[in-house]
Structure 1
Amino acid sequence: MIRTKLSLRRPLAVLGAAVVGFAGAVAVAAAPASAHHTTITATAACDQLSGERVITWKVVNSERNKAATITKVTADPATAVTVAVEGAESKPLSEVVIPKGGHVEAVQRVPGDTARATLTVDALWQRNNAKSTDSGRIDLATDQPCTPAPKCVDADKASYSHTFDGPKGTATVKLEGDLPLCGEAKQWFTLVSYFAPRPQFATPQYVHGTPDSDWLGAGQNEIELTVDVPDCHTQVDLIWGDADEVIDPLVEKGPRYGSKKLGDKGAPGNRSKGPQGWYNGGDKSCTTPAAAFTSNCDGTVTVALSNDGSISKYAVEFEVRAENGWSKTVTVEPGKAENGLVVPAADAGKIEVLVDGKVIENGTYTWERPEDCPLPTVTADADCDTFALTASNPEGAMPVTATFTYGDKTETRTVKPGTAEKVTFKAGDDETALVVLPELDLELEVVYAPEGCGEGGGGEEPGLPVTGAAAGGIAAGAVALLALGAVLFVMARRRRVHFTA
């Protein structure tokens, strides 16, 4: 006999659904030789739970007034062909009677990769003892093989989504879709924060605190990650993998996370949808630069530089400069200090300590004379013809200017540390001389009273040196050493105290 066929494609299966979709070919039996015959057509669907083709065969009785009894069924593939019975179990198609002018539908399950199926039915019309053998065929070769719907997703094919807040150090990662990861598979993700030298990407970077790692799988489909972010320049990264993937430190020409960062354009980071999983920022340096100053008696200033705070992770380049142009650059490693930098006395004045071109906090200083510095001494040597005054400056002191005035004569000398300067005046009628030390804001009045010179000569025995406390905390220290007569020294700040013998 001649057979014709009609082929239909199977529709795409809905993932995980236990629905049988129709996509098979329809087969039609050729016209039989006798008037009595059956017509056989078929449709097919894919059972996504089992991965089998489900063929529904429709067998139609050609006779409107005669029932047909099916006596034999031959199927290829040779699997059961059954008819559903209401209220009872299904029964083989070979045991079915097709009512007058009616039809029956039988179901056959075949492997999912079946390319073609045929069904041959022998029928008997008992009323006139007529017989026929008819066949139907369905062609499945043009369809995709039927496979079971997946119950899980392989870890290397899974997709994810994420959120990320770098400044707060928080992130979430979620497994997309309704299927869990297959088996015992786990996919790890890690959130890590760094100390950084700049608010933009720069190296080296050092891990801050403890990275937070967690995994998806085994029924866990969403995770939250949190890290502490340093209170300084930082980088925060959300990466694909566990804590073993963390790079510490990040250095110039060293390894990088690259596409491991979630949200990257490359794999595996692009398997998670969401914002870029990296952040660079922070509004202050990850160092703690500090300076301390000490004034010395010789006019120099010792500057101590330190870089040992809790967030000091990088070397600091300090610039120390004085008012008249003197400067020096000192690099202090993290956790270290430099205590021996001395600004010369000649360059004293306002001193500034700068980092990255900015004066650091408490980084400005001006030299102040220490209270325990020894003062210069003045001695006098007087006779009837001359009045000599000598200023001596101790070792370790600053150079001082001494101005000697007697009568209408004034002499000025610079007295270096460890030296003395002597000025001799011709004796006159003036009874006092004035010694001024302007850098120390001191004036000393010296009474000229030698013994045995002209009328009224003679005087008292030399008295003890007289010292006085200078206003503002300068200790008494001017020493009057008397020779050849009663010479009296009086020290005061910008005031004169006159003593008579």
Structure 2
Amino acid sequence: MFRPKLSLRRPLAVLAAALIGSTGAAIVATPASAHHTTISGTVVCDQLTGERVITWTVVNSESRKTATITNVTADPATPVLLVAEGADGAELKGTAIPKDGSVQGVQRVPGDTQSATLVVDAAWFQKGDSQRKKPPTSQDKKTIELGADGACTPAPKCVDASQAKYSHTFDGPGGKATVKLAGDLPLCSDEKQYFTLVSYFAPRPQFSTPQYVYGTPASDYLGNGQTEIELNVDVPECYTQVDLIWGGVDEVIDPIVENGPRYGNKKLGDRGAPGNRSAGPPGWYNGGDKNCTTPASTFASACDGTVTVSLSNDGSISRYAVEFEVRGENGWSKKVTVEPGKANNETVVPAENAGKIEVLVDGKVIENGTYEWTRPEDCPLPTVTTDANCETFALTASNPEGGLPVKVDFTYGDKTESRTVEPGSSETVTFPAGDDEAALVVLPELGLELEVVYAPEGCGGGGGGEEPGLPVTGAAVGGIAAGAIALLAVGAVLFVMARRRRIHFTA
């Protein structure tokens, strides 16, 4: 019987090849060396220099062996210096990494660097190692991104005036304000930012025009180390506007007129620029409690009964024209406009309207603005002359020119005659001679009396004939103290005011 011979040589060769192949695959899958380093990095911005500072950490994977960094390659190519006590200035290259430990190195790169890469070569030397036996080595590489938060720039040491912020306080009625630079940084270089406080005369307590600068505006600047200023101005004692503005005195508007320029956003505290660059209350004020004018009036009575009213508008706060109204009795009225700084604008009130006079502004009587006509002390008085004989007794009253009509009452015996004597004329009353020894002449409007004795010559008594004018001296009742005396050339005649004492005159 034939039995084939089985050969095991080829199957064994195939199995051996497969075993060798699988072993080789296992060897390739295993790292060439279990020794390695691990790199990580963190980054911060140094605002003093504007550089990015990277702290690299290199970790030794081995817990039984110390690693030595044999080479360091950095991109950007700036030094990587060891972070360790007593290692000032030492490079990371050549540094030993403790067993199962780590070391750190610091690298500075420009602030606009977008990424950084560190490559570290390390070796693990042991005692007894010789040149014939090379130690295990490894190389690790790490790249980190730096620009996610933008470029790193140095922290500013000052603030540009065009970017500076401020804060302010404002007291308009008191004419006070302060302005302060915000933050801790001064303005850069020799830059200056001016601010100005200014007050105005105003025609109303609300905004209105025209307005005129009052006094001197207060202006100062922030800069050159000055970070806070205080401004003070005088405020008029009348309607006013006070403004805290951005800029120096060259920004002041004087006057502020209708359809003219305005401060607008330059007022600090405004909603627009540049005023909104300062935090604080609105930097403007309108107010006051009286007109910026000084209306005044004086009065002068004339002998003819008229009154001259002098109107003026020339006080220290007079900045606007004033419309006066002069009112007299019987509905008489006259309006007069007086420009600022003007005085002695005269208005004559007729005699028939001068009983009571009022001067008004805006419908209100001004201070010391009422008056009544009063007879001046230097007005000439009427005179009385007589013409007496044995049959008649004539009395004549004469009224000088330039005065008022005067009423005269002539009484002799039981008869009384009254006359009104116009200025520059005379009136005569003749009585039949009688037994009464005197006649009485009374000027009731002036409160004066004159008693004249009837005693003509050749009629059983004294002489006769016409007497010279007898002046009625004195003033109205209550005007001047009683006792004014006129001594005439022929006889003695006394006109007595107020007390109505009768003086005898022999005619």
3-state SS of paired residue (1:201)? coil
Q: For 1:331-480, list aligned pairs within 5 A.
A: 331-382=337-388, 386-425=392-431, 430-449=436-455, 456=459, 459-462=462-465, 469-470=473-474, 472=480
Kindly tell me: are residues 429 and 286 of structure 1, through their superposed partners in 2, closer, same or farther at Cα, counting changes over 3 Å? same
What code does the residue aligned with 1:201 have?
A: F
Q: For 1:177-188, list aligned pairs within 5 A.
A: 177-188=183-194
1:410 deviates by: 3.5
Separation in 1, partners of 2:65, 2:494? 154
1:55 deviates by: 1.4
Question: What residue in structure 2 maps to residue 57 of structure 1?
Answer: 56
Kindly tell me: are residues 406 and 33 of structure 1, through their superposed partners in 2, closer, same or farther at Cα, counting changes over 3 Å? farther
Separation in 2, partners of 1:226, 1:32? 83
- Is contact 2:389–2:464 with CA below 8 Å preserved after alignment? no
1:378 deviates by: 2.9
1:465 deviates by: 5.7
Question: What residue in structure 2 maps to residue 492 of structure 1?
Answer: 496
- Is contact 1:447–1:488 with CA below 8 Å preserved after alignment? no
- The counterpart of 2:293, out of the listed 282, 287, 290, is 287
RMSD: 2.9
Kindly tell me: are residues 178 and 488 of structure 1, through their superposed partners in 2, closer, same or farther at Cα, counting changes over 3 Å? closer
**1:415-452 C-alpha deviation (Å, 9 max, x unpaired):** 22222334444555555443322221122334445566
Question: What residue in structure 1 maps to residue 24 of structure 2?
Answer: none
What code does the residue aligned with 1:146 have?
A: C
What code does the residue aligned with 1:246 have?
A: V
Question: What residue in structure 1 maps to residue 45 of structure 2?
Answer: 46
Separation in 2, partners of 1:222, 1:273? 14
Kindly tell me: are residues 145 and 33 of structure 1, through their superposed partners in 2, closer, same or farther at Cα, counting changes over 3 Å? farther
**1:9-58 C-alpha deviation (Å, 9 max, x unpaired):** xxxxxxxxxxxxxxxxxxxxxx9653222111111111111222211111
Separation in 1, partners of 2:226, 2:351? 71
Q: For 1:131-280, list aligned pairs within 5 A.
A: 131-280=137-286
- Is contact 1:32–1:134 with CA below 8 Å preserved after alignment? no
3-state SS of paired residue (2:367)? strand
1:221 deviates by: 0.7
- The counterpart of 2:304, out of the listed 283, 289, 298, is 298
3-state SS of paired residue (2:217)? strand
Q: Which runs of 5+ in 1 are unaligned?
A: 1-30
What code does the residue aligned with 2:495 have?
A: M
1:256 deviates by: 1.9
Separation in 1, partners of 2:147, 2:492? 132
Separation in 1, partners of 2:417, 2:333? 36
Query: Which has a greater percent of strand?
Result: 1
Separation in 2, partners of 1:373, 1:330? 29
Question: What residue in structure 2 maps to residue 11 of structure 1?
Answer: none
- Is contact 1:468–1:476 with CA below 8 Å preserved after alignment? no
1:132 deviates by: 1.9
Question: What residue in structure 2 maps to residue 12 of structure 1?
Answer: none
- The counterpart of 2:322, out of the listed 308, 316, 322, is 316
Query: Which has a greater percent of helix?
Result: 2
- Is contact 1:42–1:56 with CA below 8 Å preserved after alignment? yes
Kindly tell me: are residues 322 and 79 of structure 1, through their superposed partners in 2, closer, same or farther at Cα, counting changes over 3 Å? same
3-state SS of paired residue (2:276)? helix
TM-score, normalised on structure 2? 0.82
More deviation, 259-268/212-221: 259-268
3-state SS of paired residue (1:324)? helix
Separation in 1, partners of 2:449, 2:254? 67
1:296 deviates by: 0.9
Q: Does 1:329 align with 2:335?
A: yes
Separation in 2, partners of 1:118, 1:273? 47
More deviation, 405-414/372-381: 405-414
3-state SS of paired residue (1:95)? coil
**1:285-327 C-alpha deviation (Å, 9 max, x unpaired):** 3333222221111111112222222232222222222243322
1:398 deviates by: 0.8
Separation in 1, partners of 2:177, 2:68? 71
Kindly tell me: are residues 495 and 107 of structure 1, through their superposed partners in 2, closer, same or farther at Cα, counting changes over 3 Å? same
Separation in 2, partners of 1:343, 1:491? 31
What code does the residue aligned with 1:38 have?
A: T
1:223 deviates by: 1.2
Separation in 2, partners of 1:499, 1:224? 86
Separation in 1, partners of 2:65, 2:335? 115
3-state SS of paired residue (1:57)? strand
**1:157-190 C-alpha deviation (Å, 9 max, x unpaired):** 1111122223332222111111111111111011
1:337 deviates by: 0.9
**1:341-389 C-alpha deviation (Å, 9 max, x unpaired):** 2111111112222233333333222222112211122334455665444
What code does the residue aligned with 2:328 have?
A: A
Identity across the alignment (%): 71
Kindly tell me: are residues 39 and 286 of structure 1, through their superposed partners in 2, closer, same or farther at Cα, counting changes over 3 Å? same
- Is contact 1:375–1:478 with CA below 8 Å preserved after alignment? no
Separation in 2, partners of 1:62, 1:162? 63
Separation in 2, partners of 1:465, 1:41? 136
- Is contact 1:158–1:175 with CA below 8 Å preserved after alignment? yes
- Is contact 2:383–2:471 with CA below 8 Å preserved after alignment? no
How many corresponding residue pairs? Answer: 463
Separation in 1, partners of 2:210, 2:162? 33
What code does the residue aligned with 1:327 have?
A: S
Separation in 1, partners of 2:469, 2:100? 150
3-state SS of paired residue (1:90)? coil
3-state SS of paired residue (1:244)? helix
Separation in 1, partners of 2:266, 2:237? 26
TM-score, normalised on structure 1? 0.83
What code does the residue aligned with 1:176 have?
A: A
